[in-house]
Structure 1
Amino acid sequence: MHHVADWKKEKVAELEDLTKDHEIIGIVNLADIPAPQLQTMRKSLYGKAVIKMSRKNFIKLALENADNENLKGLVDYIDGQPAMVFTETNPFKLFKILEDSKTEAPAKAGSIAPADIVVPAGDTSFPPGPILGELQQAGIPAKIDKGKIVVTDDAVVVEEGDEISKDVADILTKLEIHPMEVGIDLLAVCEGDTIYTADVLEIDEEETIQTIQTAHQNAINLAVFAGIYNSESAPVIVQKAARDALNLALNANILTSETTDKILSKAYLQMLALAGKLSADALDDELSEKLSSQAAAATTPAEDNTEEPEEEPEEEEEAAEEAAAVGLGALFG
């Protein structure tokens, strides 16, 4: 019969007890974190979460023996150098705390680039020497300028997802470019009957807030137009009803304490417009009458001269011009 060492039982029992004492349980990966940085990160979590490192099989046993059946699902996310995290902090908030605690780290040969690694153009601190060849061999365009080695153009030395070679890692360290992130990776969290994975927990806060605000406004608009009363829609519905009632009363000339002044103002403006139109019509009639009388007076001498065609034609032309002048005078003033 195989005997299990007491210390192993104690380790599993410790994890089981912590599981019973906390509502939210997670699995994290502590791989590649230097001891000093890990200690700093654990201190930053003091009072917010407890992290317990253990062997993979101990963690697996603790999860399988847990009272919450859903915790067994976390077994599938055990990876790297695993540890369990115990907390009462909301999973999304916990994920953000852990992400914010991450720090920059030098590149290591064999590591996978988390994003494009770029060496920017500009001066370096290196004097002319063998490092110029190292830069060029790593795919970094460089030359000697004014006694210094200068990178002439931005250069992508490793693309996202590619492995970092030893030569590139060494040159990045010499250039003091630290493209890696070191920190506690939260792989999955169980809260109640739900398991949240890292891709779900990683959200854009600003975008999420904007989405919620838009949804809230759309819900209010729907409630207002559908006549659904709640604490948000009721004030808007009442304001809209008041505006509609006021417009109806104004258009129907119904006198109330709120419409009387507006209706009288509208009537006064209509009166002024009508008075202006009547005055314009009267002036048009007077001008027409004046033009008619002037035209009649101007044509009388021409009729008298029809019996004496032998007289000088200049007199007839002068009479016509005079009549035209009188007509234009009457028209323009």
Structure 2
Amino acid sequence: MVKVERSKKERKSEYFDRFISAVTSYSRVLIVNADNVRSKQLAQVRKSLRGRASILMGKNTLIRKILGTMISEFPHYEKLIPHIRGNIGFVFTNDSLNAIRDILVENKLPAPARAGAIAQCDVTIPAGPTGMPPEKTSFFQALNIATKIARGIIEIISDVHLLTVGDKVNASQADLLNKMNIFPFSYGLKVVLVFEDGLIYPASILDITKEELLAKFSRAVSAVASVSLAIGYPTAASIPHSIINGFKNLLAVALATDITFDAAERVKQMLATQRANVSAGVISASQEELRTAGNEEEPVEKEESDIDLGAGGLFGSDDDF
């Protein structure tokens, strides 16, 4: 079977159709960064998202052109044009954005350090044998790493902190990590922006939990209610408080006067019952104190005759006479 090579124009037309189909089929878009992601890894991500999302990668110039032509039909997609820069792609979905983001994170793979890459984490080379022959000693000396030769193998004397988060990996550091089979970094599709219902927001929004969102909403409602009550401007947040405060004022007037109504009458009955219980408790306590006081006996004072005057010591013994 002879494979027919498509022209560049045909490939662009096909990509345009796929992009428009994704826009009309899905309501949510994750804009992802694909730096250091290989084609095999991308194929695995597509497989994991099958039936739940569609991934589209392409040249930025072509994507901008497509977005420009579809503005008349989908005007809110114009907001994406300024963000089409760098090695990016689109993940179209109707599923939960958090669930799709979690799948992307799960498909990260360890990768060797490359010269020019930015360190994602601190990298420390542990002390111990490196498995390299003695002729590689100069390689470690160039990196100021103290070594020794043990049993014909180069051995690192102590742990070496090679990279800090944000450092740029140079050629020597990358070569050393590769020679020691250390893969300190992991790469995958990283969500940078979220596009939903014509709104664009950063990927950090996806990290907010439901509990945190409810807590923020509760604090906002409380702030609105406080301001509304302070300036006397009724709002949906302050009206319940205004009603309660009004009821408290009416109840205070009813308790201080003969004016009454159903709710006030119940409160008056409750207060009367409480006073009666308190009074009964005070009377019972007083009676108990009196009963206890009556049962107490007066202490018997010791008679003088019973007091030891130390007679023997005072008059002396018989032998003294």
Mapped to 1, the partners of 2:136 and 2:179 lie a distance apart of: 10
Structure 1 unaligned segments of length 5 or more: list them: 230-243, 256-262, 299-320, 327-333
**Aligned-residue offset at 1:157:** 1.3
Match of 1:58 among 45, 57, 62: 62
- Alpha-carbon deviations, 1:56-97, whole Å to 9, x = none? 222112222333322112122223333332111233443333
Mapped to 2, the partners of 1:274 and 1:131 lie a distance apart of: 101
The question of 1:188 aligning with 2:171 is answered: no
| Structure 2 contact 108–186 (Cα < 8 Å) conserved | yes
Alignment of 1:74-153 (within 5 A): 74-119=80-125, 121-126=126-131, 128-145=133-150, 149-153=154-158
Secondary structure of the residue aligned to 1:164 is coil
**Aligned-residue offset at 1:265:** 9.5
Larger radius of gyration: 1
| Structure 1 contact 25–84 (Cα < 8 Å) conserved | yes
**Aligned-residue offset at 1:250:** 7.7
| Structure 1 contact 187–198 (Cα < 8 Å) conserved | yes
**Aligned-residue offset at 1:269:** 7.4
Structure 1 length-normalised TM? 0.63
> Relative to structure 1, is the Cα distance of residues 227 and 92 closer, same or farther in structure 2, using a 3 angstrom cutoff?
farther
Alignment of 1:312-323 (within 5 A): 322=305
Partner of 1:330: none
**Aligned-residue offset at 1:101:** 1.8
Identity percentage over the alignment? Answer: 25
Secondary structure of the residue aligned to 1:31 is coil
Structure 2 length-normalised TM? 0.65
Structure 2 unaligned segments of length 5 or more: list them: 1-7, 226-236, 245-266, 310-321
Superposition RMSD in Å: 4.1
Partner of 2:292: 276
Partner of 1:252: 275
**Aligned-residue offset at 1:139:** 3.9
Partner of 1:22: 26
> Relative to structure 1, is the Cα distance of residues 134 and 193 closer, same or farther in structure 2, using a 3 angstrom cutoff?
same
> Relative to structure 1, is the Cα distance of residues 58 and 212 closer, same or farther in structure 2, using a 3 angstrom cutoff?
closer
| Structure 1 contact 59–84 (Cα < 8 Å) conserved | no
Secondary structure of the residue aligned to 2:78 is helix
Letter in 2 for 1:39: A
